[in-house]
């Protein structure tokens, strides 16, 4: 039996249905559905995706029977419309469009007015009593067909048209009359002949055949193939072809064309929203030559049509249970629906529509949750640039931290702080930022850097603060000496206004109106729905009591990562940190010597004892100063950290707080300019030369792989002791206030279980000491970051000691891929651009590689400790796709920056709902 390749839709009856997207493509299925629903759809037919596949299987030939079926369908359309394809009285013209299952860039555009030639054009002229209209239609058809089907550069036609306009001394297309258009058409045909060596086809059936083949060909065009490769779409799906009767919105004042949405896709308000143009074709609406009217005006101008349209709109929305994006044409007072599809919408509209549709009983809560994309929430959480305002974009960098902000350009943190104190809005512009710029970043509205990637210091800190940041904007050349930056020829000086869009990476000259975010009642309702479905916990990365409060406000269920060192830069506490670091090595060395010397006194024979004792005395004298410095610094840091933890514990009353012990290499804290170091050495009375030597000694070739993480705490256990004391003393204090406190101490950069053992021993010992001293206990956990491949590989060993894991996916990505996030800017954009990597792995988790190590880490960890709590605290914790992965590999929670908590919550709900769908599908199959 021969296969059916062509599906007719005409006269309220379609051979296909809305469910047949695989066979008819999205567009064809929609047209069938509308036709079956009795809506006014111009008759037409869809050639199936299977025809396309067969076309390729048979060496680019139409499969047997297809063309005959198409001709038969065409005949039925002729019967339905009373028109005739190629007819010289009432000619049938058609549009031809591609329509794959997924819409795909690179696929063929629409060819309109197919079927025109000199004869049919003349008939059209007569029929419409409009000579110019017929010539214009023919001109447009030749131009479009030549470009799309025959592959001739459109520029050549435009160029010819422009010559005419120039000659005629006019500027608008519409000012070119029928006679000139007729001449132009001859010129167009000459161009086609010259470019292809063949005449422009005049046989409508030939035109149709070529157009269908062009659609099929576009399926295997380079862009479409690349797109499929990247998005992993099967090459064998094929595309459908939709052939539909042309209707004309440009047949006079009783005609028109428009697009409309069944609700306002900007705000979500339940109101038909759209635009139309009287006496115009679709192209004209898009071209923007004439200003379209609001759809509301249609109510006044054509009340009956409006009434009919609004009923159609309502039916379609109810039918599809979602907001529809509609295309329609009015031909001589008759409404035709050309397309319906689910409408794209802004984040806030998505939320409102989802909630209101639940309230209207149209959809259930699960559907409402699925209707909002997690990434869309981002818009709701940050100010945005008013899309209606014209902007002067001078450069585009990485969208490092979303939102928009404007301010005066400043180039150093001190000025930023000073101007900020005076109430001025500033934007801090740096080549890159370092922890020493922190106070300036706090004072600034936003940060712009010319170097560094999505996880550079600037980006990470800005995201943590929910502050707009554009990073790695290579076109911006910062000139600190002259306090200006340049972009090509343009110079922007200190004090000039710029606006940053951290959601798109745009750097904009001057001030631009911003739209403030509004966390509306609908948003809150959505989050309530979300909590009914999601299984994955969501915590926040928060380093200060303020961050902790913000995080709770957004619904965080605890802190998944508190980076103790981020507190080190507040106020002048950095001095204590530096004092600790500068004195540490000296202290440790002398301490070791002293220990040996003391042991030697014990062992020494009587005659050698005095000398040995003398040595001890000398060392005791020598260690006094470093000891004062080191122990002094540690104890002042203890005070400060204890205070911080008290604030954080209070803010997180009842929720767990995961505190990471000191992680970054020490050289990140010390000053690298001589003057600051001189001031510091004066302040702490340490010889400058010594301080300088210590700073030099801290230099590392690859600090990322250097002396950091638990390796610090192992060599300097006093630092871990100090931090543990601060945590437990704070915990005991707030417990007495009635706060429910759940500290989780997290040891970073563990690669070998022995490292964790040593550090966990220190933490547990200090805990017992504090509890004994205070006569009060708190429950706590000791766990580790899993951020090295070796930690994942030996997770079963590590879980013997660790009570919880938290995947540090930033560092795990760096080590697994051998990719420094600070340096990758030189090739990573190139890699992502050329699709060598599917995504920036620092934004979206590399599931194929890093994901394997996470899965392995979870499984092996739980093999040793079945109740092991596992989370993730890298940047990926706030990336929807990565959150869904985390759900799949059965993590207990994700942790992300406070401002991304709602996004993670929603993504978690999506993941859980996807499970249910999968489960239902499985149940049905079984």
Residues that bind its own copies (CB under 8 A): 155, 158-159, 162, 603, 605-606, 700-707, 709, 711, 714-715, 749, 751-752, 754-755, 758, 787-790, 793-794, 797, 811, 814-820, 822-824, 826-827, 830-831, 835-837, 846, 848-850, 852-853
The least distance separating its own copies from the CB of residue 751, rounded to whole angstroms, comes to 5
In angstroms, how far is CA 387 from the centroid of its own chain?
18
Phi, psi of 428 (to 5 degrees): -85, 120
The least distance separating its own copies from the CB of residue 226, rounded to whole angstroms, comes to 13
The least distance separating its own copies from the CB of residue 505, rounded to whole angstroms, comes to 20
Nearer to its own copies among residue 494 and residue 790 (C-beta): 790
- The H or E element spanning position 427 is strand 426-430
The least distance separating its own copies from the CB of residue 865, rounded to whole angstroms, comes to 19
Contact criterion met (CB below 8 Å) for 644 and 545: yes
Nearer to its own copies among residue 401 and residue 816 (C-beta): 816
Q: What is the DSSP string of 223-291?
A: HHHHHHHHTT--TTS-EEEEEEE---S-SSTT-EEEEEESS-TTT--SS-EEEEEET--HHHHHHTSSP
In angstroms, how far is CA 198 from the centroid of its own chain?
48
Nearer to its own copies among residue 396 and residue 793 (C-beta): 793
Nearer to its own copies among residue 71 and residue 154 (C-beta): 154
Query: Can 457 be counted among the known catalytic residues?
Result: yes
List helix spans (H) across 385-517. 413-421, 438-443, 457-465
The neighbour count for residue 139, using CB atoms within 10 Å, is 22
The least distance separating its own copies from the CB of residue 711, rounded to whole angstroms, comes to 5
For residues 638, 643, 645, 646, the Cα torsion angle rounded to the nearest 10 degrees is: 140
Question: How far apart, in Å, are the Cα atoms of 156 and each of 324, 466, 737?
Answer: 38, 50, 80
Contact criterion met (CB below 8 Å) for 111 and 215: no
Supply 180's token pair: 């000139």
CA distance 720 to 743: 15
Residue 258 CA neighbour count, 13 Å, CB half: 25
All residues at 6 or more sequence positions from 161 whose CB lies less than 8 Å from its CB, including other chains = 173, 176, 184
CA distance 742 to 760: 17
The least distance separating its own copies from the CB of residue 582, rounded to whole angstroms, comes to 16
Nearer to its own copies among residue 85 and residue 807 (C-beta): 807
Three-state SS letters, 289-300: CCCCEEHHHHHH
The least distance separating its own copies from the CB of residue 371, rounded to whole angstroms, comes to 35
CA-based end-to-end distance of the chain: 32
The least distance separating its own copies from the CB of residue 850, rounded to whole angstroms, comes to 7
Q: Which of 52, 473, 710, 873 is catalytic?
A: 873
Nearest CA-CA partner of 535 in 847, 845, 891? 891
DSSP state of 43: -
Phi, psi of 512 (to 5 degrees): -135, 140
Nearest CA-CA partner of 554 in 523, 514, 529, 516? 523
The least distance separating its own copies from the CB of residue 725, rounded to whole angstroms, comes to 23
Nearer to its own copies among residue 666 and residue 732 (C-beta): 666
Sheet containing 256-261: order of strands: 293-294, 273-278, 256-261, 324-331, 334-342
Q: What is the per-residue burial (b if ≥16 Cβ within 10 Å, else e) of 404-443?
A: bbbbbbbbbbebbbebbeeeebbbbbbebbebbbbbbbbb
DSSP state of 389: S
Nearer to its own copies among residue 132 and residue 707 (C-beta): 707
The least distance separating its own copies from the CB of residue 603, rounded to whole angstroms, comes to 7
Proportion of the chain in helix, strand, coil states, percent, rounded to 5: 50, 15, 30
Q: Which of 457, 522, 566, 910 is catalytic?
A: 457
The least distance separating its own copies from the CB of residue 159, rounded to whole angstroms, comes to 6
Nearer to its own copies among residue 148 and residue 210 (C-beta): 148
Question: How far apart, in Å, are the Cα atoms of 827 and each of 455, 821, 834, 835, 868?
Answer: 15, 11, 10, 12, 38
Nearest CA-CA partner of 145 in 87, 204, 88? 204
Nearer to its own copies among residue 575 and residue 839 (C-beta): 839
Burial label for 338, CB within 10 Å (0-12, 13-18, 19+), is: buried
Residue 451 CA neighbour count, 13 Å, CB half: 12
All residues at 6 or more sequence positions from 257 whose CB lies less than 8 Å from its CB, including other chains = 249, 250, 276, 277, 280, 281, 282, 284, 285, 327, 328, 329, 330
Supply 433's token pair: 């930022």
CA distance 686 to 251: 90
The least distance separating its own copies from the CB of residue 917, rounded to whole angstroms, comes to 29
Nearest CA-CA partner of 569 in 586, 544, 546? 544
- Bridge partners (DSSP) of residue 496 are none
The least distance separating its own copies from the CB of residue 630, rounded to whole angstroms, comes to 18
Burial label for 291, CB within 10 Å (0-12, 13-18, 19+), is: exposed
Nearer to its own copies among residue 543 and residue 755 (C-beta): 755
Catalytic residues, by residue number, are 457, 873
């Amino acid at each position: 039996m021969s296969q059916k390749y062509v599906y007719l839709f005409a006269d309220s009856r379609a051979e296909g249905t809305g469910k047949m997207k695989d066979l008819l493509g999205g567009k064809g299925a929609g047209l069938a559905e509308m036709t079956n629903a009795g809506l006014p759809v111009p008759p037409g037919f869809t050639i199936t995706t299977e025809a396309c596949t067969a076309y390729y299987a048979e060496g680019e030939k139409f499969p047997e029977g297809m063309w005959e079926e198409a001709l038969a369908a065409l005949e039925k359309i002729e019967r339905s419309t009373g028109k005739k394809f190629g007819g010289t009285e009432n000619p049938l013209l058609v549009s031809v469009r591609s329509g794959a299952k997924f819409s795909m860039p690179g696929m063929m555009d629409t060819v309109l007015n197919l079927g025109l030639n000199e004869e049919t054009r003349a008939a059209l002229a007569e029929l419409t009593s409009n000579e110019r209209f017929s010539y214009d239609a023919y001109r447009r058809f030749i131009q479009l067909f030549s470009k799309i089907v025959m592959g001739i550069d459109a520029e050549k036609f435009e160029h010819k048209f422009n010559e005419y306009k120039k000659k005629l001394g006019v500027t608008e297309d519409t000012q070119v009359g029928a006679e000139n258009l007729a001449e132009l058409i001859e010129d167009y045909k000459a161009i086609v002949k010259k470019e292809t060596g063949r005449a422009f086809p005049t046989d409508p059936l030939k035109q149709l055949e070529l157009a269908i083949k062009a659609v099929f060909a576009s399926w295997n065009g380079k862009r479409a193939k690349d797109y499929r490769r990247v998005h992993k779409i099967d090459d064998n799906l094929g595309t459908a072809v939709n052939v539909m009767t042309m209707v004309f919105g440009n047949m006079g004042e009783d005609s028109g064309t428009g697009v409309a949405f069944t609700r306002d896709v900007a705000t979500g308000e339940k109101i038909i929203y759209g635009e139309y143009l009287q006496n115009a074709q679709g192209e004209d609406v898009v071209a923007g030559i004439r200003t379209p009217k609001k759809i509301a005006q249609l109510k006044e101008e054509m009340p009956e049509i409006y009434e009919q349209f609004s009923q159609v709109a309502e039916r379609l929305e109810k039918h599809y249970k979602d907001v529809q994006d509609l295309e329609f044409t009015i031909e001589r007072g008759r409404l035709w629906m050309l397309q319906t599809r689910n409408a794209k919408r802004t984040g806030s509209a998505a939320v409102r529509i989802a909630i209101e549709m639940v309230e209207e009983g149209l959809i259930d809560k699960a559907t409402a949750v699925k209707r909002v994309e997690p990434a869309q929430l981002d818009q709701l959480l940050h100010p945005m640039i008013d899309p209606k305002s014209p902007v002067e974009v001078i450069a585009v960098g990485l969208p490092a931290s979303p939102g928009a902000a404007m301010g005066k350009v400043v180039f150093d943190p001190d000025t930023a702080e000073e101007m900020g104190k005076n109430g001025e809005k500033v934007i801090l512009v740096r080549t890159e930022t370092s922890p020493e710029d922190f106070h300036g970043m706090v004072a600034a509205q936003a940060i712009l850097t010319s170097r560094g990637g999505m996880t550079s210091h600037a980006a990470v800190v800005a995201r943590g603060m929910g502050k707009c940041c554009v990073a790695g904007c290579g076109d911006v050349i910062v000139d600190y000496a002259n306090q200006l930056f340049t972009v090509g020829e343009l110079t922007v000086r200190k004090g000039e206004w710029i606006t940053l869009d951290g959601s798109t990476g745009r750097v904009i000259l001057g001030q631009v109106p911003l739209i403030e975010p509004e966390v509306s009642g609908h948003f809150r309702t959505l989050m309530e729905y979300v909590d009914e479905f999601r299984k994955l916990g969501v915590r926040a990365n928060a380093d200060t009591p303020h961050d902790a409060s913000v995080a709770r406000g957004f619904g965080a269920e605890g802190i998944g990562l508190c980076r103790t060192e981020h507190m080190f830069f507040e106020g002048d506490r950095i001095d204590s940190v530096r004092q600790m670091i500068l004195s540490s090595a000296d202290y440790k060395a002398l301490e070791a010597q002293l220990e040996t010397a003391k042991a030697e006194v014990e062992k020494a024979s009587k005659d050698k004892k005095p000398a040995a004792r003398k040595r001890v005395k000398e060392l005791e004298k020598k260690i006094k100063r470093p000891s004062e410095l080191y122990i002094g610094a540690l104890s002042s840091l203890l005070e400060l950290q204890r205070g911080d933890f008290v604030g954080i514990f209070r803010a997180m009353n009842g929720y767990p707080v995961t505190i990471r012990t000191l992680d970054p290499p020490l050289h990140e804290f010390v000053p690298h300019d001589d003057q600051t170091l001189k001031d510091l050495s004066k302040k702490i009375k340490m010889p400058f030369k010594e301080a300088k030597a210590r700073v030099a000694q801290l230099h590392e070739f690859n600090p990322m792989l250097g002396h950091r993480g638990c390796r610090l705490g192992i060599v300097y256990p006093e630092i871990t002791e100090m931090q543990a004391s601060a945590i437990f003393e704070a915990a005991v204090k707030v417990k007495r206030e009635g706060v429910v406190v759940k500290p989780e101490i997290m040891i970073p950069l563990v690669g070998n279980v022995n490292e964790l053992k040593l550090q966990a021993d220190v933490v547990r010992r200090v805990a017992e000491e504090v509890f004994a001293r205070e006569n009060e206990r708190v429950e706590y956990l000791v766990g580790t970051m899993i951020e090295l491949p070796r930690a994942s590989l030996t997770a079963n060993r590590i879980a013997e000691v660790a009570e919880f894991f938290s995947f540090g996916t930033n560092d795990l990505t760096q080590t697994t891929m051998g990719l420094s996030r600070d340096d990758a800017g030189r090739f990573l954009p190139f890699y992502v651009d050329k699709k060598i990597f599917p995504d920036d792995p620092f934004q979206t988790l590399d599931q194929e590689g890093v994901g394997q190590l996470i899965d392995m880490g979870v499984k092996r960890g739980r093999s040793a400790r079945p109740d092991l709590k596992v989370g993730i605290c890298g940047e990926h914790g706030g990336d929807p796709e990565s959150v869904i992965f985390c759900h799949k590999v059965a993590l207990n929670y994700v942790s992300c920056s406070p401002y991304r908590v709602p996004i993670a919550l929603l993504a978690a709900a999506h993941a859980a709902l996807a499970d249910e769908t999968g489960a239902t599908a499985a149940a049905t199959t079984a």
